[in-house]
Structure 1
Amino acid sequence: MTAVLEIILPIFVLILLGYLGRRTGRLGPTAASELNRFVVWFGLPAMLINVTAGSDWEQLWQPEFVAAFTAGCIGVFLLTLFYRFWQTRSLADASVDALSASYANTGYMGIPLCLLLFGDEGLQPALVASLIVVCVLFALAIACLETGLNAGQSPLRTLITVVKALARNPMVVSPLLGLAWSFSGAPMPKPVGQVLTLLGAATVPCALVSLGLFLAREQRGGQAAAWPLVGLKLIVQPAITAFFAFRVFQLPTLWASAALLLSALPTGTGPFMLAEYYDRGAALAARVILLSTLGGLLTLSACLYLLGF
């Protein structure tokens, strides 16, 4: 419990700083949106390029772990997508909600947690999970969202519009650029690497402060709708992942344990950034992040107890 609290506490401090900054008037009414734009267009792309360009893909390629972790996050994403689309009849809103229910905070929380529990060997599964979440899951959500926003056109025109939108989206293009650089084998110029590192390091703090700024606004409703998404994130996703990791693939202990813990993490800031950027249900995404982070204290502690820590 103490280990989990030490990792989660800084998240609440940064959210609180944003909240107090807005409430006291130190930050203006447009600060949340402007800070989020910085994250979407500069911070997150730099982080994605840096991570993908500097990854050792032969070492990170663990197909059974990838399959187990992906089954959990994609399974919950699709389940939530159909569930929310049936309720709202809006594919765009359902896409953001689905991402909120499946987007684990693998970067800010997963990496330090795995390092704390498993030592240096824990970095590898945490990095693999982070790449799946920020590259595969995020791209899938954007594709579904763009499809929903461009509904009503002919299938071919919709496809062309979605492809064009994805090609212009920095959160989709940046990991592809990083992958291309990685496969080229060319060394990253030191000044470029330093710029990417500095921008990437600002991503999580800025996103959390932006979330606090948003929560300081007057919020209406959303509380009841958030709880099913929180339950899907904290209970259903780790259950699916554990089934595949321990029963289907029978992964080595470290990889199976890491898969369970990483899937049980609360929702990261990605869904809020996407919802704010597209102006689609940011209030609900913000509540899911906050409530799942609180609930994660209990579910992560339960997972650690079951794993014998």
Structure 2
Amino acid sequence: MNQWIATGEAVLPIFGLIALGAVLRRLPLLDEKGWAGLDRIVYWVFFPALLFASVARADLQGVAVGWMAAAMIGTVVAMTALLYVVSRFLGAGKPARASLVMGGIRFNTFLGVAIAEQTYGATGVTLAAICIAIMVPTVNVISVWTLQQGTPGGGILRTVGSLFQNPLILACLFGAVVNLARVEPEPVLMTAVDLLGQASLPLGLIAVGAGLTFDTLRTHGRLLATGIVAKMLIQPALGFGFLLAAGLSAPTLVIALMWLALPAAPSSYVMARTLGGDAPLMAALLTAQVIVAVVTLPLLLGFLS
């Protein structure tokens, strides 16, 4: 019982910040451009600073990165295939099918890193950075494949190229270079980087809450329910089997499984709107999954503890 209480104490404040973001968005503090600017600063400055510092200092010995990657990618590929079959059975068109797949495999990075940090501290942030390095390329390639089949100007090659412009991937790569070179970063520089990183999680979580759109929950009944069950229940169940078979250590298994159980990322809505997905369905999935995650993620972490 004490472990369940400790899990709740660690995770529920995170959702409190998300709720605060939902309230602040409805107050006359920032306009649309102001919130968009906050998103960009967190994504391009604060969050990369946190990941760079974590990876640069990380002790990666004992982390079975290869097996972890195989298990997580295997889970996502299996989930994609399952959602394709289910969406065809439900009679969903290509736009809805693409949004359903994205809602089933994409993840909210801010929420994941915040929970990892609260659960395992610096070790958790390092494992979260590994999850980002594994999963960002995987889910982006699959997402574009589902959205842009036959679309001029898009495609897998363009997506792969864009990954090398992703600030989160670049931060992990630069941190890994510093780590492997065994270079001691300049203390003054790293202090500044640490200060930037400390701002990323609270601001990122507030931005998550600000992006919730509750008015979209009244539509897309069957597809919305399918996306919630697939993401919050079926994918973690599949992932648990793959990760257990990989023989991962406890912290690695917990963070990897938590990552697979995260609600989808707000960037999924932008992709759906600009690349031909079902944007209203995507918006509904994003909001509903965050609401459901308030219950499922503490339960999952409590069970694993």
- Decide whether aligned partners of structure 1 residues 101 and 36 sit closer, same or farther in structure 2, where only a CA change above 3 A counts: closer
What is residue 37 of structure 1 aligned with on the other side? 40
Tell me the CA shift for residue 107 of structure 1: 2.2
What is residue 237 of structure 1 aligned with on the other side? 235
What is residue 6 of structure 2 aligned with on the other side? 3
DSSP 3-state at the match of 1:87: coil
Normalising by structure 2, we get a TM-score of: 0.74
Conserved in 1, the CA contact under 8 Å of 2:98 and 2:146? yes
Say whether residues 1:170 and 2:167 are aligned partners. Answer: yes
Q: How far, CA to CA, are the matches of 1:144 and 1:103 in structure 2?
A: 17
DSSP 3-state at the match of 1:140: helix
- Decide whether aligned partners of structure 1 residues 38 and 80 sit closer, same or farther in structure 2, where only a CA change above 3 A counts: farther
Tell me the CA shift for residue 137 of structure 1: 0.7
Matches within 5 A, 1:13-24: 13-24=16-27
Instruction: Choose from 182, 186, 206 the match for 1:185.
Output: 182
- Structural RMSD (CA): 3.8
What is residue 51 of structure 1 aligned with on the other side? 54
Instruction: Choose from 134, 137, 143 the match for 1:136.
Output: 134
Normalising by structure 1, we get a TM-score of: 0.73
What is residue 96 of structure 1 aligned with on the other side? 102
Instruction: Choose from 25, 29, 32 the match for 1:26.
Output: 29
- Decide whether aligned partners of structure 1 residues 191 and 154 sit closer, same or farther in structure 2, where only a CA change above 3 A counts: same
Q: How far, CA to CA, are the matches of 1:97 and 1:171 in structure 2?
A: 20
Equivalences, count? 291
Tell me the CA shift for residue 73 of structure 1: 5.2
DSSP 3-state at the match of 1:26: coil
Matches within 5 A, 1:59-74: 59-61=62-64, 63-64=66-67, 67-68=70-71, 71-72=74-75
Q: How far, CA to CA, are the matches of 1:219 and 1:209 in structure 2?
A: 20
Identity of aligned residues (%): 19
Tell me the CA shift for residue 56 of structure 1: 2.3
Conserved in 2, the CA contact under 8 Å of 1:264 and 1:299? yes
Partner deviation per Cα, 1:165-219 (whole Å, 9 max, x = no partner): 2232323333222222322332222233223222222222122211222226754
Q: How far, CA to CA, are the matches of 2:108 and 2:19 in structure 1?
A: 24
Q: How far, CA to CA, are the matches of 1:164 and 1:245 in structure 2?
A: 29
Q: How far, CA to CA, are the matches of 1:7 and 1:238 in structure 2?
A: 20
Q: Aligned partner of 1:168: which letter?
A: Q
Q: Aligned partner of 1:22: which letter?
A: R
Q: How far, CA to CA, are the matches of 2:104 and 2:132 in structure 1?
A: 14
Q: How far, CA to CA, are the matches of 2:146 and 2:68 in structure 1?
A: 31
Conserved in 1, the CA contact under 8 Å of 2:110 and 2:205? no
* Structure 1 spans left out of the alignment, 5+ residues: 116-122
* Structure 2 spans left out of the alignment, 5+ residues: 274-278
Q: How far, CA to CA, are the matches of 1:84 and 1:100 in structure 2?
A: 17
Q: How far, CA to CA, are the matches of 1:261 and 1:159 in structure 2?
A: 28
Say whether residues 1:210 and 2:207 are aligned partners. Answer: yes
- Decide whether aligned partners of structure 1 residues 22 and 41 sit closer, same or farther in structure 2, where only a CA change above 3 A counts: same
